[in-house]
A = this chain, B = another copy of it.
Amino acid sequence: MINQHYLSMLGNKNIIRVLSEYATERAKEIGYENVFDFTLGNPSVPTPESFNNAAIRFLQTMKSRDLHGYSPSLGLPGVKEKVAASLNRRFGMDYTAGHIFPTSGCAGAIAHALRAVTVPGEDVLVPAPFFTEYTPYINDTGAHIKVVPARFEDFQVNFEAMEEMMNTATAAVLINSPNNPSGIAYSEDTLIRLSELLTRKSEEYGHTIFLISDEPYREISFDNRTIPYPAKYYDHTLTCYSFSKALSIPGERIGYVAVNPRCEMGDKLVAVMGQISRGIGHNCPTSLIQLAMAEAVDDTAELSIYETNMNLLYDTFVRLGYRTVRPGGTFYIMPKALEDDAVAFCQKALKYDLIFVPCDAFGAPGYFRVAYCVDTEKVERALPAIERFTKEVYGK
């Protein structure tokens, strides 16, 4: 018989996808250029040549079996070395190849990290706002997602609420900085407080609480600031990364889990994740993409467009009287809607062909997400539409 749990999930259509499909339909009516589609986090800037050229070179020159043969289930050693060296150089860490577990994107990374440090029935705490997919990511392992209410003034962590929600069932905390949907990067102060809390509670409960840090937007930082690297502040950190955004290759499904060498059983966790792969059918990511990624590991696409777009939108939203926190990175901004019901707000914006995503499912009811990984020219043309919508509907 068909599994009823998964069957029942079919009804719950993802709001982002529904709105994105609406935008695609609307584009057929009035032309793609006239729909201000801010729904999807699909990188818009070209992939760096270093990645494409490496892939072409390997396809043209490598022996078939060396290129296309099975990768070891824990990943290609040379690739892992390059990833470790890059992280060490950039963040002052001391990873070796043995601490790097290549995965099919961040979804694959989080699937392994969660299973490695939780058992069914335990809790994983997630500070709001949070990426909506964390709910199935966590709950389908058998653990339970517990959403820590947002700290609305700056979207750093609401530590009081987090501490109250902790108990002996707390196995891990899953963070995402810089953050989808808010664009906020956690400050050093936040990471220090988080580390102190996790250390204290681990001692109190007699087991290590792990930090799973999901950071696919790490390379997109604004105002010349460096995004603090969470594993630097807490030993028991599993860093989940995807090259989707940095290299504009979300379809190529390549990322990794980096295990902090000072982590509990830090020398065993990559092997544990290899065992997890056998049950969830992951095995290893594509060999060709592993190899090409390693050649572009320190490279990025031209990411500055996202800061340009952020500034245009941030200045406009602030000027029009929206309450919003200035993003530290990503290609998202999350202003407060001009009425309590963000769904109704986004519905009204549709009449101006502005497609925003209400953030109720992200743990930030009353807010909406604007994904600005689109051409700057389109953002510029959207600004008068945002102004007209705001004035005509809300009289601002």
Q: Which residues of A contact B (CB under 8 A)?
A: 1-7, 9-10, 40, 42-47, 52, 55-56, 59-60, 63-65, 67-71, 103-105, 107-112, 115-119, 133, 136-137, 139-141, 171, 207-208, 248-254, 264-265, 268-269, 271-273, 275-276, 278-289
Q: How far is the CA of A5 from the CA of B59 in the complex (A)?
A: 40
Q: Given contacts A111-B281, A278-B140, is CB(A3)–CB(B119) below 8 Å? A: yes
Listed A/B pairs (8) with beta-carbon separation below 8 Å: A3-B116, A9-B278, A43-B65, A68-B249, A137-B279, A140-B278, A140-B279, A251-B284
In the A-B complex, the 6 residue pairs with the closest CB atoms = A140-B279, A111-B281, A251-B287, A46-B64, A136-B278, A280-B280
Nearest CB of B to A223, in Å? 27
**Residue of chain B at shortest CB distance from A76:** B251
Chain B residues in 8 Å Cβ range of A285: 253, 286
Compute how far the CA of A136 lies from the CA of B280 in the bound complex, rounded to whole angstroms. 9
A10 cross-chain contacts in B, Cβ below 8 A: 268, 271-272, 275
Q: Is the CB of A67 within 8 A of B137?
A: no
B42 touches A65 (CB 8 A): yes
A68 to chain B, nearest CB (A): 4
* Set of chain B residues within 8 Å of A133, measured between Cβ atoms: 278
- Residue in B closest to A138 when the chains form the complex, CB atoms: B279
Distance in angstroms from A352 CB to nearest chain B CB is 25
CB-CB nearest in chain B for A281: B111
Contacts of A136 in B (CB 8 A): 275, 278-279
A47-B64, A108-B282, A253-B283 known; A69 vs B42 contact (CB < 8 Å): yes
Interfacial chain B residues near A63, Cβ < 8 Å: 46
- Docked complex Cα distance between A118 and B271 (Å): 28
Whether B282 lies near A69 (C-beta < 8 A) is no
Task: Tell me how far the C-beta of A12 lies from the nearest C-beta in chain B, rounded to whole angstroms.
Answer: 9
Inter-chain contact B112/A281, CB cutoff 8 Å: yes
A24 CA to B182 CA, complexed, in Å: 51
Closest B residue to A108 by beta carbon equals: B281
Is B248 in contact with A64, judged by CB distance below 8 angstroms?
yes
Residues in chain B near residue A207, CB distance under 8 A: 1
Given A137-B281, A282-B104, the answer on whether A118 and B3 have CB atoms closer than 8 Å is yes
Query: Nearest CB to that of A71 among chain B residues?
Result: B251
Question: Within the complex, what minimum Cβ distance (angstroms) separates A91 from chain B?
Answer: 24
Contact A288-B252, Cβ < 8 Å, known A42-B65, A56-B60? yes
CB-CB < 8 A to A6: which residues of B? 115-116, 272-273, 275-276
CB-CB under 8 A from A112, the residues of chain B are: 281
Residue of B nearest to A136 (CB): B278
Considering the chains assembled together, what is the distance between the CA atoms of A249 and B208 in angstroms? 41
B64 touches A278 (CB 8 A): no
Q: Which residue of B lies closest to A133 (CB)?
A: B278
Q: Which residue of B40, B208, B282 contacts A281 across the interface (Cβ within 8 Å)? A: B282
Task: Give CA–CA (A115, B3) in the complex, Å.
Answer: 7
Q: Which of B4, B250, B253, B288 contacts A251 (CB 8 A)?
A: B288
Q: How far is the CA of A289 from the CA of B251 in the complex (A)?
A: 10
Tell me, in angstroms, the Cα distance from A65 to B6 when the chains sit together: 31
Query: Do residues B68 and A107 form an inter-chain contact, with CB atoms below 8 A?
Result: no
Q: B252 near A104 (CB under 8 angstroms)?
A: no
Beyond the given pairs A47-B64, A56-B60, A108-B281, 4 more chain A to chain B contacts, judged by CB atoms under 8 angstroms and listed by A's residue number, are: A6-B116, A70-B250, A251-B287, A285-B286
Q: Are A107 and B282 in touch, CB under 8 angstroms?
A: yes
Q: Given A3-B272, A119-B3, is A68 in contact with B108 using a C-beta cutoff of 8 Å?
A: no
Give A389 to B56 CA distance when docked, in angstroms: 46
Q: Is there an interface contact between A55 and B65, defined as CB atoms closer than 8 Å?
A: no
A68→B42 contact, CB < 8 A? no
